[in-house]
Amino acid sequence: MDADPNVFSVRIASSAERGFAVEVDSPVGRCQSTLVLPWPDESALSAMLARLPQAVRGQRALELVRPNADDTDEAVDAQTIGEQLFDALFHGESLALLSRNLDALGGELSSLQIRLHIDQADPGVSVLNRLPWELMRDRRMGEYLGLSNRTPIVRYLEVPRNYTAFAFKPPFRVLVVMSNPDGVAKLDLDRERSLIESSWGKRDDVQVDFLSKATTDQLQRRLQGATYHVLHFMGHGTFDRQSGVGKLVMENEDGSACLISGEALGRILRDTSLRLVFLNACQTAQVGAGGASSIESQMSERAFSGVASSLVLAGLPAVLAMQFPISDTAAIAFSETFYRLLPQCRPLEYVVAEARKRVDQLQFESGATEWATPVLFSRLGDGRIFESPFRVTPLDDEQQELLSRLTLKMRRYWIEGKLDKDIPIKPPIELTKELCPKALDRAIDDYGQYSHAETSDAELLVPAGKTIASLFDENNRKLLILGEPGLGKTITLLALVQHLIQRHDADRNEPVPVVLMLSSWSQSKLSIADWIAIEIANKYKIPSRLAMRWTVTDHLMVMLDGLDEVPEENREDCVAAINQYVAQQTDIDGRCFLAVCCRFDDYSRLTNRFTFDGAIKLRPLSETQIRDFLEKFGDDLAELQQILDADPQLLSEAQSPLMLGLMSMAYSNNPGVFSRWRELASSSPESTHSLRHLLIETYVDQVFSRNRATPSRYGREEVMNGLRWLANQLHHQHQSVYLIENLQPGSLDNRFHGFLYFVLHSLVLGSLLGGVLMGVWHHSEHVDPSFPPASETQPYWLVITPIWVLSVALWDWWWTKRDRDRSPERIISRSLGSRAVHAVFRITSFYAIWVLLWMMLSAFVGQQDSEGSMLLWLSHPLSTGVTVAAMYALAVGGRDTLQYIGAAEQLRWSSKRAMFGAGIGLAIGFAAWTMYAISNWVGIFNESVVDGVDQDQRTVFFHLAFYLPLGLVYGFVFGGLKMSMTEQKTRPNEGIMLSINNSVYGGVVVGGVAIATMLILLPNLFPNSDWADDWPSYIWLGALTGMIAMFWFGLIDVVRHYCLRAILLLTKTAPWHLPRLFDQASDLTLLQKIGGGYIFRDRMWYDYFLGQSEATAESNDSNSPGR
């Protein structure tokens, strides 16, 4: 049988020879070995085990019988025992095999479970059950195996029953059994209970019930009447030395002790909902000196081991038992971490290892190793006792890599880039949350009335300490978050994202949260699913089709922020579209994971309501919370508290954490700010609005005055103008995050500026392309007499090509304006056939314009003497035009060439696209040859052919053998080098810079292919021509071909981008170095950088700068001529 891919299985059996037989089965190989214990006899082993609990507690005075010594004792510690056990089990071939497996961690292996198989029915190995294998320590690495979640240790019991993890839904329910019968040493279980209730028992995702009358009848009744996931036993254990059976000490009805074996208890527990039993041996469960009863004299912590194995063999999936007495500090620390991670449906050995690490962190300085006290007995294959209803099927390696990169972006952009920097007040105040069932559509009946029973405020209040992640899970991961401006809706959403990212890091089968801003949604024919795919592609550079697939398969959880930022006339449709998306996703597999944020007042005005499972509302800060916050600053803000107490309106505004933070900051630096506000309030009806603006202005003043001594490139007015312009751009683009590489012509202020951009980009792009083409024909005249002299052709290429680019842009703009409601990116939603027809039409129309311009030029310059001479003179321009038109049309894709600027941020090779491109290249090569042949044949049969032209018709067919292979090779290379968005982009304008790099790279590749192709084809096709040995011509023409390819691989968009930047500079709309300006604003904390983009700190800041932008625009309009 093949080895489990993540299990290092160690099977130990008795042997006729000295020691024990060991068989190792691992992911990278198998071997056999022997185990010889380092203690010479039973007395030495018993002496070590008797003193081992003291060593684990950090008491180093352990008397250990040294091997091969008669009466000499040596003081050692638990670390020494761990190293001895490791060396005894792993040596020689088994040690080498373990090392090979450990080396594979982080590569093919994510973790390696050390699974110990010790046969419970074999009396020859019973002594091994008493050894603390959890202490095993590799002295080479200086590491304990059991302290790492990558090498957890499990005592595995083979049970001939399959176990399937069931879907778990919070809360996690624990039944704590408190057994403290008469006749045995009394335990302080009331104290134990209070410790539980004050620690892990108060977790919002754990429900704890106590059974204080620990009879078997009461236990059975309790398990029959409710669903419990874990039984947590606190009490005594005993070990019957005559029968060799471990037993638990429970109670009779009269309070006396009742011994029950693990086998008997297992029959009670195995048919219940229990999935885990936690046997907790307490420190006080030690035998007293005198007067002990017969039961007390038989007490032993290793009794729990016997009970644990019996329970697993009886059918329980897993049991956690204590092999030594454990201190309260260690027990609570272990339990807190254990019960925090267990509801997250992670593998049980991972949870135990993390809980061990928590105990080790607390006791590291003391040298104690109580983390090794818990022992995990299990029969689980994959270690999971619960299956999360939210886990998804694994992806293939390539998709998982992309998903991991998306997770990294979520952490960098939204957690490190915004959440960690966007806490409005520090130290932060825990926001009070309340359930808001009336906000959901399911709460309204057919008569428009709320169908749920009236609920009191106390019942709606979310308990303090309950995390947003728990609320999300309890509502089947469909949650609406409401609140007033500045209360922290986005921070709450990002806190949820942080929790979900942590879950995904621990379990790759957990979905990944992805944050999207609803401000970019507008009423359109696209569904929310299509919009999500496009947004993920644009914002996070994940292929749109892959993003759509991940949303369908629930690998993504969509976090939608800013419903209130959707244009008011579109909000109703937006809510309806999201509801439709939820219904469609739920119909697929019954699941849909998303959260939405919105201002409470804006949402309340809507008639459409979300059909989610839950909604919460953030409550404003209470007066007590405000007072407690201000008191932390002592006398510095004492007077501010008095101002708030005297002004109810100011106090109301301070209930927002954002406003409270601004007030504290403003007052600390300018105590007179509130006096100024009162003056403005007396003359302005919008006093709240003016207060917010005044506080922001005060903050801006303080920021610039504080940084006055710091050298900066831009002054205050330039920064403020740039932020006004940015707010205006975000407003018109319906975006919240601004990427400089997404700068579009629509950012220009008026039509005249648009006309300037149109002319400038056509002239620059056409001149560059024309110059390259002129270089091709300028050199070709030296080797082919059919070309006109260079003095005649040079001005034509420099004139015709810019005019052609200008004409193509006009034509394309006119043709696409009837379909302008579709954004340029949405070409992805078209079918393959529709896109193919669209591409053919574009190529044909672009080429028709090219032919028309050249024929007009030919007539104008006097080549109209005869039809033959004109066509012969046009043969090469017309054949070239096929390639130029095709490349230009395909390079711009399905976009409006005038209105949209894209980017080629990454080049990847695609064999499938290469084969498709080869077919397209053949077609283009044949079309180019056809135009060449027609013009040449007409010229050949015309009497006025220029001298020196080879009139043999076979020459034309030889050109066919040149054009077709050349088109095939070019099509293969151009098609195979797939342009895409980069997976990681963390610098502003990085997309354009990458486009420049890739255009150069693509040009070099294509130029090299062109040179190689000509070296092979031309000498063989035309052995007697001047081309045969003209190697410099090959290099020159190949270089020029590479320059043409640069336009294909992104240079077109780069030219357009910088032409647009130049127009913005010339019209004094924005500075040339936008990244420097926005970076300076970020350093001044006026903006925030999200990856390679920029976002305002809060909607209030955005409204402030947008209002200033609109006021400036109105002022300019009123002062402009004609008004």
- Mapping DSSP onto H, E and C, the string for 639-704 reads HHHHHHHHCHHHHHHCCCHHHHHHHHHHHHHCCCHHHHHHHHHHHCCCHHHHHHHHHHHHHHHHHH
Regarding whether 1102 and 1061 lie in a shared domain, the answer is no
- pLDDT score recorded for residue 63: 38
**CA–CA dist 547, 534 (Å, integer):** 8
Domain count of the fold of the chain: 5
Beta 433-435 vs 172-178: how paired, if at all? unpaired
Is the Cβ–Cβ distance between 803 and 794 less than 8 Å? no
Task: Look at residues 585, 619, 653 and tell me which one is the last residue of a structural domain.
Answer: 619
What's the mean pLDDT in 527-531? 86
**CA–CA dist 895, 1076 (Å, integer):** 30
Q: Give the C-alpha distances (Å, rounded to integers) separating 392 from 387, 479, 511, 752, 892.
A: 10, 19, 7, 54, 38
Chain-centroid distance, C-alpha 498: 10
The DSSP code for 560 is E
Regarding whether 611 and 729 lie in a shared domain, the answer is no
Q: C-alpha angle with apex 562: 556 to 566, nearest 5 degrees?
A: 110
Handedness of CA 147, 152, 153, 159 (dihedral sign): positive
In a domain, 1122, yes or no: no
Cβ neighbours around 259 below 10 Å, total: 17
**CA–CA dist 1005, 1000 (Å, integer):** 9
**CA–CA dist 146, 137 (Å, integer):** 8
826: pLDDT confidence band, cut at 50, 70 and 90? very low
**CA–CA dist 825, 815 (Å, integer):** 17
**CA–CA dist 541, 902 (Å, integer):** 13
Q: For 165, how many CA atoms within 13 A lie in the half-sphere containing its CB?
A: 20
Q: Give the C-alpha distances (Å, rounded to integers) separating 566 from 518, 575, 599, 1087, 1096.
A: 6, 10, 11, 21, 16
Is the Cβ–Cβ distance between 591 and 551 less than 8 Å? no
- pLDDT score recorded for residue 868: 44
In a domain, 438, yes or no: yes
Is the Cβ–Cβ distance between 920 and 964 less than 8 Å? no
What pLDDT digit, counting tens, does each position of 47-99 carry? 888 888 888 887 643 333 334 444 444 555 889 999 999 999 999 999 999 99
What's the mean pLDDT in 919-928? 74
Give Dmax over CA atoms of the chain in angstroms: 133
Is the Cβ–Cβ distance between 480 and 610 less than 8 Å? yes
845: pLDDT confidence band, cut at 50, 70 and 90? confident
Instruction: Check residues 1026 and 1053 and name the one with the higher pLDDT.
Output: 1053
Instruction: Check residues 76 and 963 and name the one with the higher pLDDT.
Output: 963
- pLDDT score recorded for residue 310: 86
In a domain, 364, yes or no: yes
**CA–CA dist 568, 566 (Å, integer):** 6
Regarding whether 402 and 381 lie in a shared domain, the answer is no
**CA–CA dist 144, 24 (Å, integer):** 20
Instruction: Check residues 1027 and 946 and name the one with the higher pLDDT.
Output: 1027
Q: Which residues contact 1101 (CB under 8 A, 6 or more apart)?
A: 696, 1086
Closest listed residue to residue 721, CA positions, set 346, 289, 250, 1108? 1108
Chain-centroid distance, C-alpha 855: 56
Task: Look at residues 330, 357, 387 and tell me which one is the last residue of a structural domain.
Answer: 387
Task: Look at residues 557, 586, 619 and tell me which one is the last residue of a structural domain.
Answer: 619
Regarding whether 490 and 557 lie in a shared domain, the answer is yes
Does residue 872 carry a pLDDT above 60?
A: no
CATH code, domain with 535:
3.40.50.300
What's the mean pLDDT in 1058-1084? 84
Is the Cβ–Cβ distance between 524 and 821 less than 8 Å? yes
Q: Give the C-alpha distances (Å, rounded to integers) separating 49 from 18, 387, 844.
A: 21, 38, 89
In a domain, 362, yes or no: yes
What pLDDT digit, counting tens, does each position of 357-366 carry? 989 988 887 8
Instruction: Check residues 16 and 843 and name the one with the higher pLDDT.
Output: 843
State both tokens at 57: 């507690």
Per mean pLDDT, which range of 19-33, 203-217, 744-758 is the poorest?
A: 744-758
The helices-and-strands tally (H runs, E runs) of the chain is 36, 30
Q: Which residues contact 648 (CB under 8 A, 6 or more apart)?
A: none
Q: Which residues contact 924 (CB under 8 A, 6 or more apart)?
A: 882, 883, 886, 967, 971
Instruction: Report the percentage of the chain scoring pLDDT > 70.
Output: 71
Instruction: Check residues 932 and 821 and name the one with the higher pLDDT.
Output: 932
Residue 60 DSSP SS3: coil
The terminus-to-terminus CA distance of the chain in angstroms comes to 88
Q: Which residues contact 1116 (CB under 8 A, 6 or more apart)?
A: none
What pLDDT digit, counting tens, does each position of 718-769 carry? 888 888 888 888 887 777 778 777 777 777 777 788 888 888 878 887 788 7
Instruction: Check residues 522 and 273 and name the one with the higher pLDDT.
Output: 273
Q: Which residues of 143-205 form beta strands (DSSP E)?
A: 143-144, 153-156, 166-167, 172-178
Is the Cβ–Cβ distance between 555 and 542 less than 8 Å? no
Regarding whether 992 and 912 lie in a shared domain, the answer is yes
- pLDDT score recorded for residue 97: 93
Residue 732 DSSP SS3: helix
Closest listed residue to residue 854, CA positions, set 931, 926, 925? 931
- pLDDT score recorded for residue 755: 81
Question: Helix H segments across 707-831?
Answer: 716-733, 751-780, 790-816
Regarding whether 651 and 587 lie in a shared domain, the answer is no
- pLDDT score recorded for residue 712: 72
Is the Cβ–Cβ distance between 1065 and 1014 less than 8 Å? no
Question: Helix H segments across 90-160?
Answer: 93-103
In a domain, 161, yes or no: no
Regarding whether 646 and 763 lie in a shared domain, the answer is no
Q: Containing H/E element for 248?
A: strand 245-251
Question: What are the residues facing 109 on neighbouring strands?
Answer: 105
Instruction: Report the percentage of the chain scoring pLDDT > 90.
Output: 17
Range of the domain at 184: 166-387
In a domain, 714, yes or no: yes
What's the mean pLDDT in 1030-1053? 71
Instruction: Check residues 168 and 1055 and name the one with the higher pLDDT.
Output: 1055
**Would you say the pTM of this structure is higher than 0.75?**
no
- pLDDT score recorded for residue 943: 42
* Helical pair 716-733 and 1074-1083, crossing angle rounded to 10 deg: 110
In a domain, 671, yes or no: yes
**CA–CA dist 630, 130 (Å, integer):** 58
Residue 392 DSSP SS3: coil
Instruction: Check residues 841 and 792 and name the one with the higher pLDDT.
Output: 841
Closest listed residue to residue 439, CA positions, set 599, 616, 619? 616
Q: For 19, how many CA atoms within 13 A lie in the half-sphere containing its CB?
A: 10
Residue 1046 DSSP SS3: helix
Closest listed residue to residue 899, CA positions, set 751, 1059, 746? 746
328: pLDDT confidence band, cut at 50, 70 and 90? confident
Does residue 781 carry a pLDDT above 60?
A: no
What's the mean pLDDT in 1006-1014? 76
- pLDDT score recorded for residue 294: 38
Q: Which residues contact 155 (CB under 8 A, 6 or more apart)?
A: 116, 118, 133, 309, 375, 376, 377, 378
Closest listed residue to residue 442, CA positions, set 468, 476, 487, 489? 476
Does residue 511 carry a pLDDT above 50?
A: yes
Regarding whether 146 and 220 lie in a shared domain, the answer is no
**CA–CA dist 305, 380 (Å, integer):** 18
**CA–CA dist 234, 189 (Å, integer):** 8
What pLDDT digit, counting tens, does each position of 671-708 carry? 777 777 666 666 655 555 577 778 888 888 877 877 76
CATH code, domain with 353:
3.40.50
Regarding whether 994 and 862 lie in a shared domain, the answer is yes
What's the mean pLDDT in 271-292? 59
Q: Look-up: residue for tokens 């709240």?
A: 688
Torsion of CA 837, 838, 842, 848, to 10 degrees: 40
- pLDDT score recorded for residue 983: 40
Is the Cβ–Cβ distance between 299 and 251 less than 8 Å? no
State both tokens at 46: 């018993």
Closest listed residue to residue 311, CA positions, set 114, 126, 167, 159? 159
Regarding whether 722 and 788 lie in a shared domain, the answer is no
- pLDDT score recorded for residue 1009: 77
In a domain, 392, yes or no: no
Does residue 1119 carry a pLDDT above 50?
A: no
- pLDDT score recorded for residue 176: 94
Q: Give the C-alpha distances (Å, rounded to integers) separating 298 from 11, 179, 238, 303.
A: 31, 17, 6, 9
Cβ neighbours around 969 below 10 Å, total: 20
Regarding whether 762 and 853 lie in a shared domain, the answer is yes
Does residue 278 carry a pLDDT above 90?
A: yes
Q: Look-up: residue for tokens 């009848």?
A: 217
Regarding whether 629 and 613 lie in a shared domain, the answer is no
What pLDDT digit, counting tens, does each position of 365-381 carry? 788 899 999 999 998 88
DSSP secondary structure letters along 1052-1093: HHHHHHHHHHHHHHHTTSS-S-HHHHHHHHHHTTSSEEETTE
